[in-house]
Amino acid sequence: MLRVRISKSLDDDALIQGIRKGRKRTLLHIYKKYYPDIRSHILKNSGSENDAQDVFQDAMMAIFQNITNKDFELTCQYKTYLHAVSSNIWRKKLRNSKDKDFIEYEDASHLAQEEIDDAVLTLERYQFYQEKFKELSEKCQQILKMYLSGVHMKNIAEHFGFASVSQTQKTKSTCNENLIKLIEKDPEYQTLIGYE
C-alpha cells in the first residue's frame, strides 16, 4: 500500500525517536502537551478523569507498539495520530457500554481509518496476550521473560537448577506451547484474528 506523507513538523520526528528509545523526557513532553486536549474530549463525551487517563495510556501503548515496528511511517502529525487513536479507543469503550453520546474528534478527519484501527487492534491483541501470559505458572512466566530478554539458556538453566541446557530448552518449549494453547482456546482469540 502506498502511503502519501502529509507534512509534519521536525518535532514529530524527535517525538518518534524519543518514543522508540524510551526516553522519559519525551513521554513527559507528550503527556504535558497532548493529554489536556484528550482529557477535555473524553470529559465532553461522558467520560471521567479515570477514563481519560486510561484512554491516554491505552493510546500511548498502541502507538508505542506501532512505532517500534520498523516498517511504521507516520503519515500525519503525531498530534493528529494520538488524538485519532484516543478517540477511536474511547468510541469503542462507549459502544461496549452502550453509551450513545459521542462527538467525533474533528482533527482526525484526514487520518486513514485503517491506521487508527491497526493501532487499536494492536493494543487489544497485546492486552489479550498479556492476560493469557499471566495464566501461565510463575515458573513458565519467568523462563519466558528471561528468554525474551535475551538471557542465555545456560544462565536460565543455572537460575532454575536445570540439569542441562537441553532440559531448559524443552521446558521453555513446553511453556511456549502452553501459552499458545491458552491463547487459541479462548473465544476472544477468534475475534482478534478475525480482524485481519
For the beta carbon of residue 48, count every other beta carbon within 10 angstroms. 10
CA distances, 56 to each of 27, 60, 120, 135 (Å): 12, 6, 12, 27
Give every CB contact of residue 6 below 8 A, 6+ residues apart in sequence.
75, 76, 77, 110
35 residue type, one letter: Y
pLDDT given at position 100? 46
**Cell matching residue 116:** 487508527
Q: What is the mean pLDDT of residues 74-78?
A: 79
The predicted-structure confidence for 114-132, as pLDDT tens digits, reads as follows: 666 666 666 677 777 888 8
Bigger pLDDT: 73 vs 55: 55
Q: What is the mean pLDDT of residues 70-89?
A: 82
> Domain map of the chain by residue range?
10-127, 135-193
Contacts of range 49-53, beta carbons closer than 8 Å, 24 or more positions apart: 51/90, 51/93
Nearest-angstrom CA–CA distance, 185 and 121 = 19
Nearest-angstrom CA–CA distance, 181 and 140 = 14
Q: What is the mean pLDDT of residues 3-30?
A: 69
Which range among 16-30, 33-47, 90-104 shows the weakest confidence by mean pLDDT? Answer: 90-104
Nearest-angstrom CA–CA distance, 102 and 72 = 30
Q: What is the mean pLDDT of the chain?
A: 78
pLDDT given at position 171? 94
Residue 14's pLDDT band, with cuts at 50, 70 and 90, is confident
Nearest-angstrom CA–CA distance, 77 and 12 = 7
pLDDT given at position 193? 65
Residue 175's pLDDT band, with cuts at 50, 70 and 90, is very high
3-class state of residue 105 by DSSP: coil
pLDDT given at position 183? 84
Nearest-angstrom CA–CA distance, 185 and 127 = 16
pLDDT given at position 195? 46
26 residue type, one letter: T
